[in-house]
Amino acid sequence: MGGAPASLTRGLEACAYGLGFDAFGVAALGEPATRPHFDAWLEAGRHGTMAYLDGAGAELRRDARQPHPGATHAVVVAASYGGREPSGPVARYARGDDYHVVLRERVRELHRWLERELGHPIDARPYVDSGPILERDLAQRAGLGWFGKNTMLITPRAGSFVFLASLFVSLELEPSAPFEADRCGACTRCLDACPTGALPAPRVLDASRCISYLTIELRDGIPEPLRAAMGGLLYGCDICNDVCPYNRKFSKELSEDSPFRPRPFLDGVPSRELALRVLGMGVPEYT
């Protein structure tokens, strides 16, 4: 029985890479190591108007065993969405198919593989940027990478241009070794490049100044002092990832059949033209 979790984990890893994931690990569920930083971040109001991160949502994030009661371990995976494509008015992650749908199905296939391998149902739940969990903390504990100074998880296999996903399971698996190294050194390129000052210190994000927050999460008007610094960015921002030396080294080309390749509607279209296209869309085109 002692070797069963290890062999099962190795089989799961092979299945994950076969499904197109770029990184894989397993973490035991519990209180996140970053909980004190998360609490201090909320206390400072750096989450802006994202009220779902506070209150009951914060309580669930303070212990990874709470979102899916009974789960003991998480299978944590990462999938590259490129990084070599030209920058543009829409962040790279949002130019292709909906990653929630694509990756949720891949994670469900991991669940099905487990059930086939063990011959009985397994209580499990997939998460793809869709639940009250501190995903980057979980990924670091599963050995996928380290926290960059821009707060992104940097993986040695694909940089930080990756989606994170997980499968919470009520099953004993062999945990991976956490990624303990900090490979950012003295580099501050991401902090220096942020045009709105959303990175006031290493590994501190003021979401209320982040262009991704301003163009996606914020429901009010964008504060006037920040508008000029945003340039032509319409949805999300890749600047702090673009300047990272590890992304220049590790980020990947998208394959021809990747679901994350840009839709023609978004591919290479200048900001002003794209904004006019979107504003001119009717309900059928938008949906």
Q: Which residues are catalytic?
A: 129
Tokens of 261: 């390749």
Contact 89, 232 (CB under 8 A): yes
Residue at 273: amino acid letter: E
**For every residue of the chain, which 3-state class applies, written as one string?**
CCCHHHHHHHHHHHHHHHCCCCEEEEEECCCCCCHHHHHHHHHCCCCCCCHHHCCHHHHHHCCCCCCCCCCCEEEEEEEECCECCCCCCECHHHCCCCHHHHHHHHHHHHHHHHHHHHCCCCCEEEECCCCCCCHHHHHHHCCCCEECCCCCEEECCCECCEEEEEEEECCCCCCCCCCCCCCCCCCCHHHHHCCCCCCCECCECCHHHCHHHHHHHCCCCCCHHHHHHHCCCCECCCHHHHCCHHHHHHCECCCCCCCCCCCCCCCCCCHHHHHHHHHCCCHHHHC
CA angle, 63 then 169 then 111, to 5°: 140
